Amino acid sequence: MPGSGMSDPSGNDPGTNATPVLVELFTSEGCSSCPPADRLLQDLDRTQPVGGAQLIVLSEHVDYWNHIGWKDPYSSRFFSDRQSAYSDHFGLNSVYTPEMVVDGDAEFVGSDSHRARQACDEARSIQKVPVRISSVSLDGSSAIHAHVESGPVSRKADVIVVVALNHAESQVTAGENGGRRLTHVGVVQSLNKVGSLDVGKNFAQDVTLKLGPGTDTSNLRLIAFVQESGPGKVLGAALQRVQK
């Protein structure tokens, strides 16, 4: 359902009728090919270049580059496993970085700006399930509370809620990017399945998401999306900035 988008947290409002499009980037600070893709993701988030679309970006740092001299502080085996599941979904022989996945339906080299815009434009034309995040509040610096809703789906799907950093950066001292200062956007801190949707059913639930020690609560955004299990196609998404 077009029209279910929400305002972009960077201040660029794509419009209340914008169709949300989820853009995931699998990346690593240990990979010399990844910084151009990281910059592209930041550009997509900041400029919102696809008319009629609200691009909701996620930076998911894999851990399989950590052995070559630099341990990516944002990396997790969880994201490597999620990427492997996508690799199976797309019938790929192996995983690679940087990889961009748009709405769980298209994948390509994450620094390919032309393909990124093309895939986002194609995703914009697909009818989406309305998703909404509301009643967002902080429990000190330990947790976020929110209410998540979704409209009905035509096939079974999972409801996923993400806590991500608006901005992150590192001074890399070793590995392939040694000596470089790298910046990122939408860096996923946690990605949790909070429920499931049966065919024809709505979803409405209060959720509590724990925050890691030392999390800067002024630097957070919440993303909720509905996705076919697998992971498969993303059927709808929403974003809400966390206000202290």
> Whole-model pTM?
0.93
* Proportion of the chain above pLDDT 70, given as a percent: 93
Of 23, 223, 19, 226, the closest CA to residue 107 belongs to 23
- For 73-113, what is each residue's pLDDT tens digit? 999 999 999 999 999 999 999 999 999 999 999 999 999 99
Q: Residue 4: what pLDDT?
A: 35
- For 140-171, what is each residue's pLDDT tens digit? 889 999 999 999 999 999 999 999 999 999 99
Phi, psi of 182 (to 5 degrees): -110, 140
Q: Residue 14: what pLDDT?
A: 52
pLDDT(29) > 60: yes
Q: Residue 15: what pLDDT?
A: 55
The DSSP 8-state label assigned to residue 103 in this structure reads T
| Residue pair 19/5 in contact by the 8 Å Cβ criterion | yes
Q: Which of the four pLDDT bands, split at 50, 70 and 90, describes residue 37?
A: very high
Scan for tokens 């994201």, then name that residue: 79
